A and B are shown apart, each in its own frame.
Chain A
Amino acid sequence: MQKSRFLPRGRKDRTMVLVDIRETKSVKAADIFLQVRPGKDFELLTILRAMIKDQPISDAEVAETGVSIEALQDLVARMKAAKFGAMFFGMGLSMTRGKHMNSAALLTLAAEMNAFTKFVAMPMRGHGNVTGADVIMRWQTGYPFGISFNRGYPRYNPGEFSTVDVLVRGDTDCVFVIGADPGATMPQPAIDHLARVPTIVLDPHVTHTSRLAKVHITTAPAGISAPGTAYRMDEIPLPLRPALKSSYPTDEEVTRRIKEAIQAKPDWMVEGPQRLETQV
């Protein structure tokens, strides 16, 4: 692990605390493991928020979380004594009971810890270039995901316009999948819809989704035989340099050619210039 002026011994100068509902493989890498009772993340985070500010908490509340008061007191002392604290969280927090409320509690805890020492929090992203998609959607549309363009401009409503919701409702008559395998992870009604409508998949491999798609275009794998940019979890862009050549086209090339073919067709949007209105 990276050594630095302030942490000259690298990993030895760092303390890693793992919080999970069960002993995972990561436990071996951690200095401290806290086993929280399933569905009690929000409660645990709220108790920590109270403890850092020396607010009263009851034994019963602590007992409910499955973590002992001694362990929590030790954790709070370590957090306050740290020079720089970082909290990473993933879907185990954001997709279980409480969902976005859990994420909000964790982010608030990180913000509040800055009254004592430097603290940050960062979501752990999924595999592939999820962060890159999120970053680009934000600069082009203002929103990271869950965007509808059906009025000709970007609108955002997770839960309504997110891919899974659109598919489950059966709101699309065509699906274009790139760099993802929803057929492996989405709920059955969404998968049924993928199979029902023309689904087009761009992927270097055969996937669950490509098997139920009407069209599968094999593309060159990014980073192996296609160049590009991938955004790291902390939104730092890294160049992808292909080591091999591929006889398959890149995702970018296929998408561009499909776009050109669509552009050659009559447009469904009303044509004409747009006035620059007074901004509010």
Chain B
Amino acid sequence: MLRITGGSVYDPANSINGEVRDLYIADGKFVDKESCDSGRVIDATGMIIFPGGVDVHTHVAGGSINFARAMTPEDHRRTQAFIRTKTRRSGLGGMAPTTFATGYLYAGMGYTTVNEAAVPVLSARHTHEELSDIPIVDKSSLVLMANNEIFLDLLEEGETERAKQVIAWYLWAAKAYGIKAVNPGGVAAWKYGDNASQLTEPVSGYKNVTPGNIVAQLAQIIDELGIPHPIHLHCNNLGAPGNVSTTLETMKHLEGRRAHFAHLQYHAYGGDDWGTMRSASVELAEYFNAHPNMTTDAGAVLFGDTVTITADGPWQHLLYKLTGRKWGNLDVENETGCGIVPYTYKPSNLVNAVQWATGLELLLLIDDPWRVFMSTDHPNGACFWRYPEILQLLMSADFRKECMACLPANIKNRITLPEIDREYTLYELATIISAGPARALGLKQKGNLGVGADADVVIYNRNVNIAEMFGHPRYVIKSGEIVIEEGDIRETPDGREYIIKPSFDPGTDDFLQPLFEDRYCMSFENYPVEMERIENPHLQDCKPQQ
């Protein structure tokens, strides 16, 4: 048991805004005062208390990040090394941290839940093996569906009911938590060197399937199956100047349905080419603010070195041609793909400067903190352990001005950031890093300091240096256990894995097996991940809509 007394509590899920409250913890959950009559007491007088952070979109485990690790040995060498002890495994931080280090670094900045946002079903077994090697934090994963050949074929034939059964089957086969759509149709076309850039044009190899109807059908299926997290969408035309029109059109395709737009920064550009590229955050935020069916994460960019990894194979090929740096490409049979390119965002580079401003603008112009969440699309925009730098930019307009002084002079008229005075409050920050993403993921027990919720909590020393305050919490408590204390890693418990089991027609196996044997190169029985392969599985509710 554990009591935390005297701290200023920021718990947006329960509308508690900085009031002094005592928290009581027993058996890993928050309990009422009567149920906690012994154990350690943390005197948090003068300190700030947040629910543990929840990352709605990150890439920490599986084939693509592991390929990125292989491609960047030069980075491993200059980063913090975690030295082995009897209770802690060794590892390396940096652009693509190793699994054990990933857990230590996330917990080290107060995050206790992470959502791995891109898992091919074909290699889901690998992703789960890596996730079980990420200590401390709880995990969930999203499976890639928008370029799956069997699914696209069913859409082509108008077999939407069957498509729904197949999606549910795949989700359970992967032991995943939700559905991710990356560049719908575009990754499938990339197998033949093509892309899909128009929402209403047929995808290569199909007559009826367009990116627009892939998105709309998937969103419908996800709602009908009652999957807790809505469609998690990486739109077409990521990164391209002028792509805001595609993004807005996609949003219109999804009107009236739940949808989460991933890393919106990469989809918020105006202009016609690299020379005229500008931020289109104003028009995008205006539309977004008026449509409460949507949530998003920022996909913010920070200047510095990183490695970009995405299922968006054609975009990565373009990035390789633009930068001339190393390029890795993986095609995952008839399901999806992946590309990897190391990248350096420079303030002197006009495109990078626009990207930096656009991410912050979206976070500041979207007025409901329950709908826009902290992310850098780790490691794409910046590494996750740099989140505290972004929190500082959000909380201080003066600091933003200071940073803007380093941008190229010709950036005027391309960005709106200089005109924005908004400064985030601590209550709003607690919403975008914890309560909001937990709600969007449908994880009611997370991002919540109320009785019955998981006792994941962060205690900060007050500090005028915001980046330092959020980068170095005084205590981090996971499931009631103190894991970080005064910057030291104390305990490294295993986290849970959240999965769902949507209901599907038991005849789906018989339907899929012949198709599968025709198209895949492994046997059908070997394909689904067995339940016993998941370490600490935790089944969340998934009830179909009536």
Which of A139, A238, A276, A280 makes the CB contact (< 8 A) with B522?
A: A238
- Asked if B348 is at the interface of the complex by the 8 Å CB criterion, the answer is no
Give bound CA distance, A263 to B80, whole Å.
25
Give bound CA distance, A13 to B541, whole Å.
47
Question: Can you name the residue of chain A whose Cβ is closest to the Cβ of B122?
Answer: A236
Chain A residues with CB under 8 A of B122 = 236
B 99-135 binary contact with A (CB < 8 Å = 1; else 0): 1100011001000000000000011011001100100
B 308-340 binary contact with A (CB < 8 Å = 1; else 0): 000000000100110000010111001000000
CB B307 to nearest CB in A, in angstroms, measures 12
- Does B90 contact A280, Cβ atoms closer than 8 Å? no
Chain B residues with CB under 8 A of A236 = 122-123, 126, 522
- Asked if A127 is at the interface of the complex by the 8 Å CB criterion, the answer is no
Within 8 A of B (CB), among A13-49: none
Give bound CA distance, A279 to B82, whole Å.
12
Within 8 A of B (CB), among A229-280: 229, 231-232, 235-239, 263, 267, 269, 271-280
Within 8 A of B (CB), among A111-129: 111, 114-115, 117-118, 120
Which of B79, B85, B86 makes the CB contact (< 8 A) with A279?
A: B79
- Does A139 contact B85, Cβ atoms closer than 8 Å? no
Known A5-B205, A138-B66, A141-B91; judge A274-B82 contact (CB<8 A). Answer: yes
Give bound CA distance, A152 to B86, whole Å.
11
Most buried by B among A4, A6, A114, A142: A142
- Asked if B191 is at the interface of the complex by the 8 Å CB criterion, the answer is yes
A 185-213 binary contact with B (CB < 8 Å = 1; else 0): 00000000000000000000000000000
Known A120-B331, A138-B70; judge A278-B471 contact (CB<8 A). Answer: yes
Known A152-B83, A269-B85, A276-B484; judge A239-B92 contact (CB<8 A). Answer: no
Please give the number of chain B residues whose Cβ is less than 8 angstroms from any Cβ of chain A in the complex. Answer: 70
Question: Can you name the residue of chain B whose Cβ is closest to the Cβ of A4?
Answer: B519
Chain A at the B interface: mostly helix, strand, loop or mixed? loop
- Does B125 contact A153, Cβ atoms closer than 8 Å? no
- Does B526 contact A139, Cβ atoms closer than 8 Å? no
Known A84-B192, A120-B331; judge A269-B126 contact (CB<8 A). Answer: no
Give bound CA distance, A118 to B192, whole Å.
6
- Does A153 contact B66, Cβ atoms closer than 8 Å? no
Most buried by B among A141, A144, A151, A238: A141
Chain B residues with CB under 8 A of A83 = 192-193
Chain A residues with CB under 8 A of B129 = 136, 229, 237
Give bound CA distance, A239 to B122, whole Å.
12
CB A127 to nearest CB in B, in angstroms, measures 19
Most buried by B among A6, A120, A135, A152: A135
B 527-539 binary contact with A (CB < 8 Å = 1; else 0): 0001001000000
Chain B residues with CB under 8 A of A120 = 329, 331
Chain B residues with CB under 8 A of A3 = 518
Show the binding face of A for B, using Cβ within 8 Å.
2-6, 83-84, 111, 114-115, 117-118, 120, 135-136, 138-144, 149, 151-156, 229, 231-232, 235-239, 263, 267, 269, 271-280
User: 28 interchain pairs (CB within 8 A)?
Assistant: A6-B205, A84-B191, A84-B192, A111-B327, A120-B331, A139-B61, A141-B90, A142-B69, A142-B94, A143-B70, A152-B81, A152-B90, A154-B81, A154-B92, A236-B126, A237-B125, A237-B126, A238-B522, A263-B86, A272-B85, A273-B85, A275-B487, A276-B80, A276-B108, A278-B471, A279-B80, A279-B105, A279-B385
Show the binding face of B for A, using Cβ within 8 Å.
61, 63, 66-67, 69-70, 73, 76-86, 88-94, 96, 98-100, 104-105, 108, 122-123, 125-126, 129-130, 133, 149, 190-193, 205, 317, 320-321, 327, 329-331, 334, 383, 385-386, 471-472, 484, 487-490, 518-519, 521-522, 526, 530, 533
